[in-house]
Homo-oligomer: A and B are copies of this chain.
Amino acid sequence: MRTASGTPIAVVGLGRMGRLHADNLATRVAGARLAGVADVDEPVARELGERHGVPWSTSIDELLAKPALAGIVIATPSACQPELVKGAADAGKHIFCEKPLGLDVDSCAEAVAAVRACRVRLQVGFQRRFDPGWQALKATLDTGLIGELDLLRCTHRNAAPPPDPDGLGDLFRDMSVHDLDSARWLAGEPSEVYATEVAGGDAAIVSLRFESGAAGVIDLHRSAGYGFECSAELVGSDGTIRCGAPRLPDAAELLRAGSATVPLTRDHAERHAAAYIGELEHFAAVAAGFAEPVVTGHDALAALGLASTAALSAAAGVPLAAEEHAARAS
């Protein structure tokens, strides 16, 4: 059981991202515990609160009033967020705010000023900074392995527009903020922006010049159909590094001196991290009486019997019938 000492964090705004964050806080974030949820839609707030056994409310103020609360995740429609950030800052809570922080620069600047004035911390939800592939790009660039950065290329594709596009902002504010943050993170501050929008606002190309002298380009499509993609490439004077290719989403590929290199899976713990959780999820259901094992003692006996037969065959140098052990295992 996660210990009660996990940092207590609440979530306000229970749309897709808010529910995802609440579920993660409740079950997968080792250092945190979900300490409350709020949404203007009462049934939504109640359902999630009851499911996770935490306080729920239709008002963020009720959550903010709890002295024990250390931090709050804000995931409401973007236009509302700057005001909520100010309120949370006034209440002295640390803030995690979904991207984009808001839809206009002025209200966001006010929110950021309030955060500073109240001496709380604000983290923004540009999750690529936590993605292994993008992190490998940054780390490789920083080591100097690819030399000086000349070109940055980002591809960002959604399979389909969000079901509820209201309040998300246009293609630039909704999608390209991710790429623009990545561009700044990897290539420094841009000095010039040139954008072309096509496909009725569903696709665009953004050209960038950076203060460093590098150039960049971002291409965006929000109904590309085939799936989700966010991939990038850094072309340097001594090499190139890429991440996010559809067939290689988690790894970064280094192209240098005539060859392309990708890291390999280190061990079973890395390769099967999800499977090791999945098998215990299933066993928890078995132990609670809700499910039957999918890998039984019969299976274990059969596999061990075959392994023993294989060891015997290797020693004897002849093929052996498997039936004897199969019989015993049944």
Contact = CB atoms under 8 A, between A and B. Distances in A.
A329 B267 CA distance: 44
Tally of this chain's copies: 4
A111 B297 contact: yes
Contacts of A9: 280, 283-284, 287
A181 B299 contact: yes
Interface stretch (A40-48, A58-66, A306-314): A306-314
Interface in A70-88: 70-71, 73
A91 interface: no
9 contacts: A32-B283, A100-B307, A112-B300, A157-B240, A177-B307, A205-B217, A224-B240, A247-B262, A259-B264
Nearest to A297: B112
A20 interface: yes
A269 B237 CA distance: 23
A183 B299 CA distance: 11
A150 interface: yes
A259 to B, nearest CB: 5
Interface string A94-136: 1011011110110011011001100001111111111110000
A246 B237 contact: no
Contact of A180 (B157, B173, B298, B306): B306
A296 to B, nearest CB: 6
A28 B277 contact: yes
A236 to B, nearest CB: 8
A297 B101 contact: yes
A99 B311 CA distance: 17
Given A31-B284, A227-B255, A109 B328 contact: yes
A314 B172 contact: yes
A265 B228 contact: yes
A196 B219 contact: no
A91 to B, nearest CB: 13
B286 A121 contact: yes
B322 A192 contact: yes
A323 interface: yes
